[in-house]
Chain A
Amino acid sequence: MERDSVLQKLERIRIKEFLETYEIDEKDIKEFEFFLFKESVWMTTKEVFNFNPKGIKIVRKGLRVYRIFEHSLKPTTSGIQIIGKNAKKKKVYLNPSQALKFMKGEKVEISSKERGFVIVCFKDTILGVGLLKNKELKSQVPRSKRILKDFKKAL
C-alpha cells in the first residue's frame, strides 16, 4: 500500500468531532481500526489491519469512510451507509420524488435548518451524503453510483 499509517493526532480529533456532530456512539465503531491512505480515512477490522504478508501485493484494506479536506472530513456514500446506521443527528428524510432526484445526483429543495454535510435518508434507508446550504441539498452521490433513469418501481 502507498501509505498505511496509524491515524495522526489531527485526524483522530476530527473523527471524534465527526462522531459527536452526528451523535454516533463510539461503541458502534470500537471494533474497527481507522487509518490514513490515499488522502482518505479508511475503516477495517484489526485482523485486516494487521495482515501484511511478504510477497503479496495489497491493493486496499476495508472501506473508505471519509475524504480529508483542509478543515473537515467528508463522509463517503459507502462509509455513511455503514457508520451512519445509528447516527442520531444531522439526518434529513426525503419524500419519494426528492429521493429520486437525489439518487440521480440532482439538487433538492428541502425545508431543514441543518447545514453542511448531512446523512440523507429515504424512510429507514440511508441513501448517502448531501451538502445542505440555504435549504438546498446538493447530492454527493458519485456519478458511477447514480440512478440514471426514472423507474416507477424505484421506490
Chain B
Amino acid sequence: MGIRINTLKQEKNRIIEKIKRFSPEPLPWYEYGFIIKKDIKIGNTVEHFAGLIYVQNISSMLPVCLLSPQPYEKVLDIAAAPGSKTTQIAQHMENKGLLVANDIAHKRIKALTGNLERTGVVNAVVTQKDGRAFGRILPDFFDRVLVDAPCSAEGTIATSFKVLEIWSERTIQRISKLQTQLLISGFRALRKGGVLIYSTCTFAPEENEEVVSNLLLTHPQAHLEKIEIPGLKPEKGITQWKGKKYNPEVEKIIRIYPHKINGEGFCIAKIRKD
C-alpha cells in the first residue's frame, strides 16, 4: 500500500517518526511517498484520523511530482475528484496561492471536498464546470495545469476487476476525443512559459500518444519535455499504433507498467507552453 505524508498538518520528520511502527519503505523518487508492506488497517490509525497521512497509489503520486507546483502560484486541476492529486498539489504549494480544483460531476465533488477537509487544504477553490470550458473562460491564466484525464483505466485492472466490465474499443475511441478536448482546454488556460502535466492510468495509445500528438499538431506553442525521475526507469512513448503515425516527440511520454513499479500503470506527458 502506498501512503503520502501530509506536511500541511505537521513537519515531515515528525510524521516519519510516528509512522515508523508501520515499517514504511521510502520511495527513492519522492520524499513524501512510502510503501507499507505490513497488513495494517491504515484507515483506523491516529495518523490517518488526523490527516497526517493519505493513502495513495504510488504511481498516482508521479504526475504532481512532475508538475512541481510552488507556493503562491496559480494552479488548475481540471478533473480533480476524488482529490488525491489535488491535496498533493496543495501540500507542494504549502497552502499558499490559488488552486482551482474542478470537476464536472456533483456526486464526485463530495468526495473531493471531504479529502480537502481531512488534509487541511486552505488554498483551494472547488468549482463545478465542464473542464473543456476553462481554455475559453480563463486563457493564459495558470502557471501550472494538471489534466489527469478520465480514462479506460487499464493500468488499474490488477486492483479493480470492474474496469474489465466497462472496457471496450468503442469506449477508448469515445474517451480519446474527450481527452483531446480537455487537454486543449487545459493548454489554452496555461500561461506562456507554464507547465502542463497530462496523465492517465491507462495504456491505450489512443488515450495517450494520440491525444498529445493532436495537441502538438494544432498548437505550435506546445512542446514536450523530457521526463527524468531518479530511481525510476519508465518506458518511452509509442510513435505508431494500428497504422497511425504520431508526432515523433511523443516518445518523451513515459509509460509506467505495474509490474515494474509495484503500483498502478500510468502514462504521463510534460508539456511546456512557449
Contacts and interface: CB of A to CB of B under 8 A. Distances in A.
B129 interface: yes
B117 A64 contact: yes
A154 B45 contact: yes
Interface string B89-118: 000000111111010000001000110111
B44 A60 contact: no
Query: Which one of A47, A54, A144 has the highest number of Cβ atoms from chain B below 10 Å of its Cβ?
Result: A47
A103 B46 contact: yes
Given A57-B129, A81-B51, A124-B14, A43 B46 contact: no
Nearest to B43: A147
Contact of A145 (B10, B118, B134): B118
Interface of A: 31-32, 43-45, 47-48, 51, 53-64, 78, 81-82, 99, 103, 122, 124-127, 144-145, 147-149, 151, 153-155
B123 A78 contact: no
Mostly, the A contact residues are mixed
Interface in B138-166: 138
A91 to B, nearest CB: 14
A154 B43 CA distance: 9
A2 B99 CA distance: 21
A126 B51 CA distance: 10
24 contacts: A31-B96, A45-B95, A45-B97, A47-B98, A48-B124, A48-B125, A54-B137, A56-B102, A56-B127, A56-B134, A59-B109, A61-B126, A62-B125, A63-B117, A63-B121, A78-B120, A81-B9, A81-B50, A82-B8, A82-B120, A99-B46, A144-B114, A149-B44, A151-B45
B229 to A, nearest CB: 30
Nearest to A125: B50
Contacts of A61: 124-126
In the A-B complex, the 8 residue pairs with the closest CB atoms: A47-B98, A151-B44, A59-B126, A78-B117, A82-B120, A45-B123, A57-B128, A61-B125
A59 B113 contact: yes
B137 A53 contact: yes
A142 to B, nearest CB: 10
A32 B120 CA distance: 14
Contacts of B95: 45
Nearest to B48: A147
Contacts of A62: 122-125
Contact of B126 (A58, A64, A147): A58
A55 B137 CA distance: 7
A147 B122 contact: no
Nearest to A81: B120
Nearest to B118: A78
Nearest to A122: B46
B137 A155 contact: no
Contacts of A149: 41, 44
A124 to B, nearest CB: 7
A45 to B, nearest CB: 5
B46 A155 contact: yes
A122 B72 CA distance: 32
Contact of A56 (B41, B118, B120, B137): B137
A109 B126 CA distance: 40
Contacts of B50: 81, 125-127
Given A47-B97, A56-B129, 7 more contacts: A53-B137, A56-B133, A60-B113, A81-B50, A81-B120, A151-B41, A153-B21
Contacts of B117: 63-64, 78
